[in-house]
């Protein structure tokens, strides 16, 4: 299976663990990931925060490129990229005027090559037919859990993992339409398919502090503390995330949490794809574990998750 | 009648109404009257500020007499409003009421246009088309039909009981159908009732007994209405009798069967907070006083499998071979009193009602408060039986949320939440009661005083704001909300949470209403014929509504509405005979080929095929004059009275000329 994959900028810079583990896991599942040629940043938060239409050009340009390459699905892992691409796509689908204006912008900037000043004559409008899927949705709907289960090479022995959705993946429900934001199941079912036990805890869709980490670190520290405390209290041995920013706040911030909250005990944070790759038999060295502040090596050991013979 | 030549030119009078500025503001009414003055067939034309007023009607009556008019056109509002008024005026003047035509130049013209010139031209065309039709109108007489003076009540809650009793007291027979094993409805589950705090069971059970003993009320519990055919005054009802597997008359309530029954299941009367056996009595005062065997939970209605209850029954009341049967009844009117249900807690995932035992809905808390409830009226939380040290009450759980849930107000929750909080403070004096509210709505006699008492005497803490999330930490529920008066987030620890869930249409009632062809509003509540002036009648003649089937309401209002519905049924039954509109669609036998298309088109089952003659025949009483058959008939054999093809085409010609 060949599929368009949008890693996003963070995965190419600070948080390569999510990218490499995704690639390794997909190899094991015979899914070939193709990056749209010349993809740019999705705009992170900005396309959604301003009413200006031009902000949508960045995400739509990516989707138009997928269309030009003949793709009908674009898969991402980063919750932020996912939200931006999906909501930008929906914004122009719902509003014919926006659709028209965005294509007018794209027509100009794609027709003229900025380097060679060469004019392209054939411009294909973005039709709004590319489906943006989170990798979790892709694994559930296109790959299917039975196929994942078939290929598991390690037994994770029902490791109690707390799924952390964060704020971006489920809300606003009408636009994201991924799962019920108040009682979601997507991540839980995925963890069970990989061989973990999903821990139910009330903070799975509370915010980790997100960008406030930059301007008001203490607020992010407290928000992250509450999430991790609740996960631990409910018996989790690790917290699984999908978003590089959640990873930053929940993992890198644990030293600050310990300073601020004396009762806090650390807990390793992992990407959902690291668990999958490991369970599918990928070598530990290829999981990007070096990027973790809180060591997660203990979770990925022969002892805790032995190989199974088919 | 369509191909008859017009023998003598009719003398038609035209009356154009201003409706204040409603019409005259946009349509030049004087010009309309003037332009039509010399139009073929029109012998008189005028305009007047309010045609529907007394002087307006008198003008119509006088003009008919003076000018010897034999056709009238009133250009005014929609015929749904004043057609009857002017038909009556015509009758008083000695003219056949079916010679009245209403040309709608308000709803279909002045209200929807802004350009005066074009609206006036349109009004002229509308009126001309009605002149064309009026020239061909015939004198008609209403079809007379007898009334069957028996009423069917669907639903045995407080509204159904009240309506049944009132109608029976008027001297008419009543059949009361209740789908559950006992009458009593939701009200019998309640503890105290606001604002007087009288015990709900104590005030309802006398009514239940009275209904069950009333000589003119036939009580059919554990029955369901299967279908209704016929028309106002003459309905035929098929009622499903569900097998109770216990002979009502033989059962002496000794209770031995219940003792030996091995099947323990969740008790719906106690909202799942207690258990009952598969053979059970819903509650001690149940009427009829008999056990019921619920086949779904029984081990198999088979003496080989279990048969314990049958063995111990001295009276031989238990009969595993009972089958579902159909009862047929004939009635003249139907009161729909099907009640309500609560919005499911599942829909509010963030409140955890499905996950945490100690998050309960209002009805569950009623059972906890009730002296006949699982705790005997002591307030204990469901998870571990502990007396809750603090309870948070969340009003508007699902109500008044246009974006995610239900846009309407459930009306009773403010009052019953105040009552819940007050009862809790009375029984657990050192308990902390906190109420989250959007506004407190206490419209009703002595309601606000009750609420003030809750706040001031019983020291219940009211926080204005919504709750965002409820979750459990250890043994305690954490409630997150906002206090919108201070603008601060609040976090409250509670042992129990009571959600005042929104009221919704009764579960499964939509199928029944569909069968009865009763219209509902977008939320599935039964629609009234007019929101202000006909609040207890359905648009479907012969159907009346009472209680929460029509929308959320409290007990006093429900009782008032039930009595009103009963009075309306009395109006109907007091008539010697009913008249049916004569504008039906008869069949011209000579033209009918018996193709049967009209029969498939008819939504009222008014048309059948006469196999001997090979033509369609019409039950004129069932025909509602919708015209579907007339439009579909390929040969023109189906012609609606005073709305014939000929008339429709002449209207079109009049409108399209120029």
- Per-residue pLDDT tens digits for B283-297: 999 999 999 999 999
Q: Is the pLDDT of residue B191 over 80?
A: yes
Q: State ipTM.
A: 0.85
Mean pLDDT of all residues in B147-153:
97
B472 part of contact set with chain A, CB < 8 Å: yes
Q: Is the pLDDT of residue A160 over 60?
A: yes
- Residue A199 and residue A217: Cα distance in Å, rounded? 28
Confidence of residue A114 (pLDDT cuts 50, 70, 90): low
pLDDT at res. B79: 94
Cβ distance of A233 and B472 shorter than 8 Å: no
pLDDT at res. B227: 93
- For B348, name the nearest residue in chain A, comparing CA atoms only: A182
Q: Where are the beta strands (DSSP E) in B366-459?
A: 390-397, 432-437
Domain B584-640 = CATH 3.40.50.300: no
pLDDT at res. B1: 43
Cβ distance of A233 and B473 shorter than 8 Å: yes
- Residue B34 and residue B29: Cα distance in Å, rounded? 9
Judge contact between A135 and A75, C-beta under 8 A.
Answer: yes
Instruction: State how far the alpha carbon of B530 is from the alpha carbons of B27, B78, B409, B537, in Å.
Output: 28, 15, 20, 8
pLDDT at res. A112: 65
Largest CA distance in chain B: 93
**Could you tell me the sign of the dihedral formed by the alpha carbons of B591, B593, B594, B596, in that order?**
negative
Cβ distance of A180 and B349 shorter than 8 Å: yes
- Tell me if domain B243-322 and domain B584-640 are identical in fold: yes
Phi then psi for A134, rounded to 5 degrees?
-80, 150
Sequence-ordered list of residues with C-beta below 8 angstroms from that of B475, at least 6 positions apart, any chain = none
pLDDT tens digits along A43-83: 887 888 777 888 898 999 999 999 999 999 999 999 999 99
Give A233's contacts in chain B (Cβ within 8 Å): 473-474
Confidence of residue B58 (pLDDT cuts 50, 70, 90): very high
pLDDT at res. B604: 80
- Residue B577 and residue B565: Cα distance in Å, rounded? 20
pLDDT at res. A111: 64
Q: Is the pLDDT of residue A310 over 70?
A: no
Q: Is the pLDDT of residue B494 over 80?
A: yes
- Residue B174 and residue B164: Cα distance in Å, rounded? 6
- Residue A44 and residue A50: Cα distance in Å, rounded? 12
pLDDT at res. B7: 58
- How do the domains of chain B map onto residue ranges? 12-142, 150-242+326-339+507-573, 243-322, 341-504, 584-640
Mean pLDDT of all residues in B113-136:
96
Dihedral angle computed from the Cα positions of residues B36, B41, B43 and B44, in that order, rounded to the nearest 10 degrees: -40
pLDDT tens digits along B240-249: 999 999 999 9
- For A226, name the nearest residue in chain B, comparing CA atoms only: B473
Residue B34 buriedness (CB in 10 A; 0-12 / 13-18 / 19+): middle
- Residue B292 and residue B278: Cα distance in Å, rounded? 8
Q: Is the pLDDT of residue B33 over 70?
A: yes
pLDDT at res. B2: 47
Judge contact between B500 and B194, C-beta under 8 A.
Answer: no
In 3D space, the residue among B459, B123, B161 whose CA is nearest the CA of residue B335 turns out to be: B161
- Residue B262 and residue B298: Cα distance in Å, rounded? 9
Mean pLDDT of all residues in A117-135:
85
pLDDT tens digits along B495-534: 999 999 999 999 989 999 988 888 899 999 999 999 999 9
pLDDT at res. B210: 97
Judge contact between B629 and B607, C-beta under 8 A.
Answer: yes
Domain B12-142 = CATH 3.40.50: yes
- DSSP assignments along B437-483, one per residue: ES-----STTHHHHHHHHHHTS-PEEEES-EEEEEEETTEEEEEEEE
Interface mutation vs chain A, best among B398, B401, B402, B471, most A CBs within 10 Å: B471
pLDDT at res. B549: 97
Distance (Å) from the alpha carbon of A64 to chain B's nearest alpha carbon: 32
pLDDT at res. B579: 87
B499 part of contact set with chain A, CB < 8 Å: no
In 3D space, the residue among A196, A191, A140 whose CA is nearest the CA of residue A165 turns out to be: A191
Instruction: State how far the alpha carbon of B161 is from the alpha carbons of A287, B153, B185, in Å.
Output: 71, 8, 9
Q: Is the pLDDT of residue B225 over 70?
A: yes
Give B350's contacts in chain A (Cβ within 8 Å): 182
Chain Cα centroid distance, residue B584 = 27
- For B468, name the nearest residue in chain A, comparing CA atoms only: A182
Domain B150-242+326-339+507-573 = CATH 3.50.50.60: yes
Interface mutation vs chain B, best among A167, A182, A233, most B CBs within 10 Å: A182
Cβ distance of A202 and B471 shorter than 8 Å: yes
- Residue B147 and residue A286: Cα distance in Å, rounded? 86
Judge contact between A163 and A240, C-beta under 8 A.
Answer: yes
pLDDT tens digits along B531-573: 999 999 998 889 999 999 999 999 999 999 999 999 999 999 9
Instruction: State how far the alpha carbon of B574 is from the alpha carbons of A292, B214, B565, in Å.
Output: 86, 21, 14
Domains of chain A with CATH codes: 2-132 (1.20.1050.140), 152-299 (3.40.50.11810)
Instruction: State how far the alpha carbon of B486 is from the alpha carbons of B89, B183, B436, B483, in Å.
Output: 63, 48, 14, 6
Q: Coil, strand, or helix at residue B436?
A: strand
pLDDT at res. B603: 82
In 3D space, the residue among B395, B426, B589, B649 whose CA is nearest the CA of residue B502 turns out to be: B395
Q: Is the pLDDT of residue B15 over 60?
A: yes
Cβ distance of B471 and A183 shorter than 8 Å: no
Q: Is the pLDDT of residue A236 over 90?
A: yes
The overall average pLDDT reported for chain B is: 94
Give A230's contacts in chain B (Cβ within 8 Å): 473
In 3D space, the residue among B341, B282, B376 whose CA is nearest the CA of residue B549 turns out to be: B341
Q: Is the pLDDT of residue B467 over 50?
A: yes
Topology of domain B341-504, CATH: FAD/NAD(P)-binding domain (3.50.50)
% pLDDT > 70, chain B: 99
Q: Which helix (H) or strand (E) holds A162?
A: strand A160-163
pLDDT at res. A38: 86
In 3D space, the residue among A37, A98, A33, A43 whose CA is nearest the CA of residue A65 turns out to be: A37
Topology of domain B243-322, CATH: Alpha-Beta Plaits (3.30.70)
For chain A, how far is it from start to end, CA to CA, in angstroms?
A: 24
Q: Which helix (H) or strand (E) holds B493?
A: strand B488-494
């Amino acid at each position: 299976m060949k599929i368009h994959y949008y890693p996003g900028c963070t995965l190419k810079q600070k948080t390569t663990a999510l990218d490499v583990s995704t690639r390794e896991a997909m190899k094991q599942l015979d899914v070939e990931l193709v990056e749209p040629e010349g993809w740019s940043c999705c705009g992170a938060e900005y396309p959604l925060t301003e009413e200006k239409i031009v902000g949508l050009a960045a995400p739509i340009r990516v989707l138009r490129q997928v269309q030009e390459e003949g793709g009908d699905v674009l898969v991402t892992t980063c919750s932020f990229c996912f939200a931006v691409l999906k909501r930008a796509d929906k914004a122009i689908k719902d509003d014919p005027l926006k659709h028209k204006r965005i294509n007018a912008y794209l027509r100009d900037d794609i027709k003229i090559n900025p380097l060679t000043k060469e004019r392209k004559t054939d411009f294909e409008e973005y039709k709004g037919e590319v489906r943006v899927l989170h990798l979790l949705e892709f694994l559930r709907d296109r790959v299917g859990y039975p196929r994942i289960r078939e290929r598991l090479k390690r037994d994770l022995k029902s490791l109690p993992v707390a799924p952390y959705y964060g704020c971006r993946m489920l809300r606003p429900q009408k636009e994201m339409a991924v799962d019920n934001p108040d009682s979601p199941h997507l991540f839980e079912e995925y963890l069970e398919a990989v061989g973990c036990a999903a821990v139910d805890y009330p903070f799975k869709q509370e915010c980790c502090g997100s960008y406030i980490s930059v301007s008001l670190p203490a607020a992010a520290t407290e928000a992250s503390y509450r999430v991790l405390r609740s996960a631990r209290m409910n018996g989790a041995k690790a917290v699984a995330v999908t978003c590089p920013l959640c990873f930053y706040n929940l993992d890198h911030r644990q030293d600050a949490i310990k300073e601020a909250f004396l009762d806090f005990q650390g807990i390793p944070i992992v990407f959902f794809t690291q668990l999958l790759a490991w369970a599918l038999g990928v070598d530990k060295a290829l999981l990007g574990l070096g990027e973790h502040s809180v060591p997660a090596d203990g979770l990925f050991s022969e002892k805790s998750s032995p190989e199974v013979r088919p | 009648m369509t191909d008859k030549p017009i023998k003598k030119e009719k003398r038609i009078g035209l009356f154009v109404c201003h409706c204040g500025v409603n019409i005259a503001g946009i349509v030049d009414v004087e010009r309309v009257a003037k332009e039509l003055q010399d139009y073929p067939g029109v012998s008189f034309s005028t305009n007047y500020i309010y045609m529907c007023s007394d002087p307006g009607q008198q003008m119509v009556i006088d003009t008919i007499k003076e000018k010897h008019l034999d056709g009238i056109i009133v250009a005014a509002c929609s015929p749904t409003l004043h057609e009857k008024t002017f038909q009556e005026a015509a009758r008083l003047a000695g003219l056949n009421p079916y010679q009245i035509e209403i040309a709608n130049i308000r709803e279909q013209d002045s209200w929807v246009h802004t350009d005066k010139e074009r609206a006036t031209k349109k009004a002229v065309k509308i009126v001309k088309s009605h002149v064309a039709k009026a020239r061909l109108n015939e004198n008609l007489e209403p079809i007379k039909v007898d009334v069957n003076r028996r009423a069917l009540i669907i639903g045995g809650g407080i509204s159904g009981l009240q309506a049944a009793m009132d109608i029976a007291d008027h001297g008419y027979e009543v059949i009361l159908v209740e789908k559950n094993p006992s009458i009593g409805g939701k009200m019998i589950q309640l503890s105290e009732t606001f604002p007087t705090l009288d015990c709900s069971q104590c005030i309802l059970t006398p009514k239940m007994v009275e209904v069950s003993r009333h000589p003119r009320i036939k009580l059919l519990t554990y029955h369901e209405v299967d279908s209704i055919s016929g028309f106002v005054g003459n309905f035929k009802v098929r009622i499903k009798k569900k097998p109770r597997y216990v002979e009502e008359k033989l059962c002496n309530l000794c209770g031995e069967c219940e003792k030996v029954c091995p099947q323990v299941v969740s008790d719906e009367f106690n909202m799942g907070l207690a258990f009952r056996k598969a053979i059970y009595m819903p509650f001690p005062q149940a009427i009829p006083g008999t056990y019921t065997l619920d086949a779904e939970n029984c081990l198999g209605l088979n003496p080989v499998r279990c048969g314990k209850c049958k063995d111990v029954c001295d009276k031989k009341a238990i009969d595993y071979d009972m089958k579902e049967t159909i009862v047929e009844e004939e009635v003249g009117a139907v009161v729909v009193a099907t009640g309500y249900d609560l919005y499911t807690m599942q829909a509010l995932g963030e409140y955890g009602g499905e996950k945490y035992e100690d998050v309960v809905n209002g009805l569950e808390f009623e059972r906890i408060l009730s002296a006949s409830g699982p705790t005997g009226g002591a307030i204990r939380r469901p998870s571990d039986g502990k007396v809750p040290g603090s309870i948070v009450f969340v009003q508007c759980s699902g109500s008044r949320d246009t974006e995610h849930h239900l846009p309407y107000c459930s009306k009773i929750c403010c009052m019953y939440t105040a009552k819940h909080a007050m009862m809790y403070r009375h029984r657990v004096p050192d308990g902390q009661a906190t109420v989250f509210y959007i506004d407190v709505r206490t419209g009703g006699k002595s309601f606000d005083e009750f609420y003030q008492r809750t706040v001031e005497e019983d020291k219940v803490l009211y926080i204005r704001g919504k709750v965002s999330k409820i979750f459990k930490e250890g043994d305690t529920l954490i409630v997150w909300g906002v206090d919108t008066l201070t603008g601060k987030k609040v976090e409250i620890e509670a042992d129990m949470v009571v959600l005042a869930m929104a009221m919704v249409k009764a579960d499964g009632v939509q199928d029944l209403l569909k069968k009865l062809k009763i219209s509902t509003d977008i939320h599935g509540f039964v629609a009234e014929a007019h929101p202000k002036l006909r609040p207890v009648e359905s648009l479907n003649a012969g159907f009346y509504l009472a209680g929460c089937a029509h929308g959320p309401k409290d007990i006093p209002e429900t009782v008032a509405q039930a009595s009103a519905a009963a009075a309306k049924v009395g109006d109907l039954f007091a008539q010697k005979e009913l008249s049916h509109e004569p504008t039906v669609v008869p069949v011209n036998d000579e033209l009918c080929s018996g193709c049967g298309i009209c029969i498939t088109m008819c939504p009222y089952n008014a048309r059948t095929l006469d196999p001997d003659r090979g033509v369609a025949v019409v039950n004129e009483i069932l025909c509602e004059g919708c015209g579907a058959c007339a439009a579909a008939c390929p040969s023109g054999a189906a012609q609606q009275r005073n709305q014939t093809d000929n008339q429709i085409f002449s209207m079109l010609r009049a409108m399209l000329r120029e």
